[in-house]
Amino acid sequence: MRSGVSPSPIEVLVIEDDAGDILLMKQSFAGQPVPISMHVALDGKQAIEILERGFKPDVVILDLNLPKVSGLRFLQGYRPEAPVVVFTSSSNPHDRERALELGAKEYIEKPMDLNEYTRVVPQIVRRWAA
């Protein structure tokens, strides 16, 4: 890489309806060595619309508890080319099993600890956007 040339940002589609989680993710991405461009869908329906308009993310971070179209219904009806990581507060083993059956690459329960949360989110992106 030539000096003075910034690397292309990693394109992340975050499908999340909780404003607090969206803000935490945005803060988690700030200051990363490779820039991360975050696009937000507030529900599964909006996510499908964004993807159908031609947006090609490098990774999708998906909550399961969403209005309109749930995370599991999103996975059931739409298969993005990018890896999908479920990042949810659900500890239900059935949700985990079903999400992985439907193609999610990883299932991560949201940490309750703020420092852990802001550490885990960039790790997801680095691991799956490569």
Instruction: Record the pTM.
Output: 0.90
Number of domains forming the structure of the chain: 1
Note whether residue 55 is domain-resident: yes
Tell me the mean pLDDT in the region 102-116.
91
Note whether residue 4 is domain-resident: no
Check if the beta carbon of residue 28 is closer than 8 Å to that of residue 118: yes
pLDDT of amino acid 76: 92
pLDDT of amino acid 8: 86
pLDDT of amino acid 1: 43
Q: Tell me the HSE value of 33 on the side-chain side, using a 13 A CA sphere.
A: 2
* CATH number of domain containing 101: 3.40.50.2300
Residues in the chain: 130
Q: How confident is the model at residue 2 (pLDDT cuts 50, 70, 90)?
A: very low
Note whether residue 5 is domain-resident: no
Note whether residue 92 is domain-resident: yes
Note whether residue 58 is domain-resident: yes
Structure tokens at 72: 């599991």
What angle separates helix 19-29 from helix 114-128, to the nearest 10 degrees?
A: 70
Model confidence pLDDT, tens digit, residues 82-102? 999 999 998 999 999 999 999
Note whether residue 39 is domain-resident: yes
Percent of the chain with pLDDT over 70: 95
Structure tokens at 56: 């090609």
Residue 71 belongs to domain spanning:
10-128
Q: Tell me the HSE value of 130 on the side-chain side, using a 13 A CA sphere.
A: 6
Note whether residue 70 is domain-resident: yes
Identify the helix (H) or strand (E) that includes residue 22.
helix 19-29
